[in-house]
Amino acid sequence: QKEVEQDPGPLSVPEGAIVSLNCTYSNSAFQYFMWYRQYSRKGPELLMYTYSSGNKEDGRFTAQVDKSSKYISLFIRDSQPSDSATYLCAMNTGFQKLVFGTGTRLLVSP
Amino acid sequence: EPEVTQTPSHQVTQMGQEVILRCVPISNHLYFYWYRQILGQKVEFLVSFYNNEISEKSEIFDDQFSVERPDGSNFTLKIRSTKLEDSAMYFCASSDQVNEQFFGPGTRLTVL
């Protein structure tokens, strides 16, 4: 079983839709959860950072962590064509190494 | 806004040659990292560096790889004898807290 699993997509939605992106993980020691956005051939850009279970909101983005189910989500409200990118989940135990999912490619059409 | 920078953006080299990838982390950050991403694959951890020494490394980071912080601003990754399979995007990252890691734009390494 992979440590972090993420559907590679692509996920295609119309502009204005609510987008739901998800990851599951197997290592119950993971405590810190991050979402990055990556445009083609660019570096990952940190969007959201959460610790343990619960929700965190930042503008149009909401991150959810359910540690009991080992499941994390990123919601994007009012999606825009500029949100078209690959979204990476990443996590660690509180030490330094980040473990990444494969990324979900999101396409938002005008 | 402070950002991580990397040079060069693209490096082409012949198999067996040495390459040095350079990074300037965010100035007040204390933790530095290298990751790589082979085309179409996930981002993979290589090494972390703190207080002038390696704090963690992956099994990818073998004797062909080394890291150095030669001065107060640069952080380098050296590959001594490149192989075809070293072709990838290499990302430098830095953090002041342990877990908010900020990534640079990457260096695309092509080994011929």
The per-residue pLDDT for range B10-58, each reduced to its tens digit, is 999 999 999 999 999 999 898 999 999 999 899 999 999 998 999 999 9
Comparing A2 with A9, which gets the higher pLDDT? A9
Is B43 an 8 Å CB contact of chain A? yes
Q: Which of A34, A26, A27, A42 is nearest to A84 (CA)?
A: A42
A108/A16 Cα distance (integer angstroms)? 9
Min Cα separation A85/chain B (Å): 14
Which pLDDT does position A103 carry in this prediction?
96
Cα torsion through B82, B86, B87, B89, rounded to 10: -120
- Mean pLDDT score, A37-57: 91
Give the pair of three-digit tokens for residue B95.
Answer: 């953090």
Residues B48-83 have pLDDT tens digits of: 999 899 999 999 999 999 999 988 789 999 999 999
H helices within B60-109, ranges in order? none
Q: How far is CA B7 from CA B24, B57, B71, in A?
A: 9, 22, 16
Reduced to 3 states, what is the DSSP secondary structure of residue A80? Answer: coil
Which pLDDT does position A51 carry in this prediction?
85
Q: What is the mean pLDDT of chain B?
A: 94
Q: Across chain A, which distance is largest between two alpha carbons, in Å? A: 41
Q: Backbone phi, then psi, for B90, in 5-degree steps?
A: -110, 125
Check residue A29 and give left, alpha or beta (phi > 0: left; psi -120 to 50: alpha): alpha
Which pLDDT does position B98 carry in this prediction?
60
- H/E stretch holding A45 reads strand A45-51
Min Cα separation B108/chain A (Å): 8
Is B99 an 8 Å CB contact of chain A? yes
Is B7 an 8 Å CB contact of chain A? no
Is A103 an 8 Å CB contact of chain B? yes
Identify the DSSP state of A81.
G
B65/B51 Cα distance (integer angstroms)? 19
Q: Is the pLDDT of residue A1 over 80?
A: no
Residues A64-110 have pLDDT tens digits of: 999 999 999 999 999 999 999 999 999 998 767 999 999 999 999 99
Is A44 an 8 Å CB contact of chain B? yes
- Mean pLDDT score, A25-48: 93
Min Cα separation A50/chain B (Å): 10
Which pLDDT does position A95 carry in this prediction?
62
Give the nearest partner residue to A98 out of B45, B104, B108, using CB atoms.
B45
Which pLDDT does position B86 carry in this prediction?
97
